[in-house]
Structure 1
């Protein structure tokens, strides 16, 4: 499956909806961490039956004005796509139902959820909206085969029956469970639609080391025993961890929130970045 920026590039170039792009990705089961925009337009032009020329003939225009013009086009495109994205308004009901408080600063590419349970346990959930990763399952397809799929318009119109459980990626998520004076358990997880998958569980006796962002704490964390990968643990132990997380509101529904909210947040950040760059070159 493609990264979010790759999906945006294909959608822009082919002039089709994200839902249709998702259909092709499902059929091809593509594996790609690509986030660049450059290679896709040529593919989409082939799909649309057009030709790609080195440069269209146009009247005299400065490189700066051309850049500003294309930035404007990109902003218009993003505004159109934003209408198809989920609104953040309905997502807050999930946060409230799970007893979390959302901490989200404008123009900052990270989000925190926090709560304190009845027994005084402090829980922090942190994620970076733009840090979505590609699905990394095995696939017989590569980017070349995916690109060829766009050359045939029927791929978008007469697709096979699709897997309803398809998801376009996962988002690395850090969970910090702290008991004041007793230490912190750090859980590395992946948020996916309808799922919160644990990858690693590590205990820190010193909560300051677990929670601090400074370089010294980071260096100290590297020397801590991290234990075996979660999937190698006894299945009963895995189930017990998931049972505890669900009891404190960390379940598949919250994973769905994290994925959906990240799409909205990342879209806002990208549009703001485009606006700032456009203003810079216009001045």
Structure 2
């Protein structure tokens, strides 16, 4: 009765009759599917107020069955990831670790920072990777002719980008590969910290491998004194392996949420 009174006040007799017809249709065709496929016409100029919005029908009713299959597979993968000991393990920071760690959830890198005798040192640490030994570039970098070096081709490694700067002026940048017990400098450049387009073309030095052997050794010692030691690389390996597991689980859960809510 309340609906009929409302329609009478707003649209007059013609709208009332149309509204009653719609209401009866809705009662008879009570399911979402029937309403969606039933065509309803109204007299020209009539204003009809329905008890709900047709646009509010949930997309879930038309969701492909493949979506449910995908969610089931993701659930299985989440369960498997949660059974892994690494995803929630917090690596204990050794006493005397010289860096502050900046680790943001959802990022595939962490940043280490410290000040050393007026120098600002920043280390960007990326996710670990396993090399297969089939890449010629990996063989060249670690020295594939040496049996000990060939063992590194199947070891876990993490990329490091180390920046050493003074008073926001010039700085050294080292691109390195860290193995559990060893650091390899892949390249080194000396440049402005904030480069302009012209400064990006400036000469930054020769390839690190072309430097005199004694000079190369001196730079390894230079980094060690600034905290890039075997202790640091060992810790970073364990830390990044745990982060990789944790981020994968976080990614799976976000992926599931997206599939379910789309």
Shorter chain as denominator, the TM-score bin is 0.5 to 0.7
**1:203 CA drift (Å):** 0.7
Distance, in Å, in 2 between the alignment partners of 1:166 and 1:99 is 29
**1:97 paired to 2:96:** yes
Task: Tell me which of 207, 211, 215 is aligned to 2:193.
Answer: 207
Please list the CA deviations of residues 192-242 of structure 1 after superposition, one character each: whole Å capped at 9, or x if unmatched.
1112211111111x3223xxxxxxx6x667523343332222111111111
**1:126 paired to 2:91:** no
Please list the CA deviations of residues 34-83 of structure 1 after superposition, one character each: whole Å capped at 9, or x if unmatched.
xxxxxxxxxxxxxxxxxxxxxxxxxxx92111111100110111112x21
Change (3 A) 1:251 1:86: farther
TM-score scaled to structure 1, two decimals? 0.58
Q: Is the 8 A contact 1:167 1:193 kept in 2?
A: no
Task: Tell me which of 258, 267, 282 is aligned to 2:245.
Answer: 267
SS at match of 1:201: strand
Distance, in Å, in 2 between the alignment partners of 1:280 and 1:138 is 36
| Corresponding pairs, count | 185
Change (3 A) 1:253 1:65: same
Distance, in Å, in 1 between the alignment partners of 2:253 and 2:205 is 45
**1:282 CA drift (Å):** 2.3
Task: Tell me which of 159, 167, 181 is aligned to 1:180.
Answer: 167
Task: Tell me which of 49, 53, 63 is aligned to 2:66.
Answer: 63
Task: Tell me which of 203, 209, 222 is aligned to 1:231.
Answer: 209
Q: Is the 8 A contact 2:88 2:246 kept in 1?
A: no
Distance, in Å, in 1 between the alignment partners of 2:189 and 2:151 is 34
* Residue 11 (structure 2) aligns with: none
User: Comparing both chains, which one has the higher relative contact order based on Cα–Cα distances under 8 Å and sequence gaps of 6 or more?
Assistant: 1
Q: Is the 8 A contact 1:230 1:238 kept in 2?
A: yes
Which of structures 1 and 2 has the bigger CA Rg?
A: 2
Distance, in Å, in 1 between the alignment partners of 2:86 and 2:103 is 22
Change (3 A) 1:272 1:99: same
* Residue 257 (structure 2) aligns with: 279
Distance, in Å, in 1 between the alignment partners of 2:127 and 2:200 is 24
**1:249 CA drift (Å):** 1.2
SS at match of 1:97: coil
Task: Tell me which of 76, 80, 88 is aligned to 2:79.
Answer: 76
Please list the CA deviations of residues 13-41 of structure 1 after superposition, one character each: whole Å capped at 9, or x if unmatched.
xxxxxxxxxxxxxxxxxxxxxxxxxxxxx
Larger strand fraction of residues: 2
Q: Is the 8 A contact 1:101 1:115 kept in 2?
A: yes
- Unmatched runs of 5 consecutive residues or more in structure 2: 1-63, 137-149
Change (3 A) 1:165 1:191: closer
What's the C-alpha RMSD, in Å, of the aligned pairs? 2.8
TM-score scaled to structure 2, two decimals? 0.62
Distance, in Å, in 2 between the alignment partners of 1:110 and 1:207 is 20
* Residue 257 (structure 1) aligns with: 235
